[in-house]
Amino acid sequence: PIFKFNKVRDLSDARYASAMMAQWVGFEMFGASALPVAAIQEIVGWINGPQLILELNTEETITENRLLSWMDVLPVNGFECDYATFKTFSVKNEFKHLTWLITGSGNEENVNAFTHSEELVESAKEKHIVKLGLNEKYDKSVLETYKGISIDCEPAENPALKNYEYWNNFFEELELV
């Protein structure tokens, strides 16, 4: 299965994702949880394995120049965005090679993207990355039903003192460790 760690905020989360052999680490690019590009550069410089997904979940206008400027300084492997943003940029040559994760509704046609929206889960299970809560109980069937899973990283005042017991229990329950 594919694993995505959402809203990575610090090196501890990114290193945990790398150790769990996550496919993707996602960084919010807008809002209160967004990190400066320089911080993202530093974090991804210390990990090996996960691909970088920029999370573009915002009401702000996203421009081609902004995406390209991020791609100039970060090893971007893909974007997570709404369907309208996906339709606008995924067809352009500069972005065709990237991985796309679509949030929200609007994915009415068969597109080359993963879904990351509960609104789309029934229509695209074979491409759906389901978001799971760490404090809920799951069995291995969730791994057989969906293409992958994602979990949100939580903020911490001191990342060095983060407690990863929930994550450890979560992955043990799914028999992945």
| Contact (CB, 8 A) for 81 and 56 | yes
Banded model confidence at residue 111, pLDDT cuts 50, 70, 90: low
Q: Which residue type is seen at 91?
A: V
**Helix, strand, coil percent values for the chain (each to nearest 5):** 35, 20, 45
Query: Global pTM?
Result: 0.86
Percentage of the residues of the chain whose pLDDT score is greater than 70 = 82
| Contact (CB, 8 A) for 84 and 57 | no
| Contact (CB, 8 A) for 99 and 86 | no
What's the whole-number average pLDDT of the chain?
Answer: 83
pLDDT per position as a tens digit, 76-89: 999 999 888 988 99
The Cα–Cα gap between 72 and 63 comes to: 14
Bridge pairing between strands 2-6 and 148-152: parallel
- Contacts with 37 (C-beta within 8 Å, 6 or more apart), sequence order: 70, 73, 74
In this predicted structure, the answer to whether residue 159 has a pLDDT above a threshold of 80 is: no
| Contact (CB, 8 A) for 24 and 2 | yes
pLDDT per position as a tens digit, 39-68: 999 999 999 999 999 999 888 889 999 999
| Contact (CB, 8 A) for 98 and 67 | no
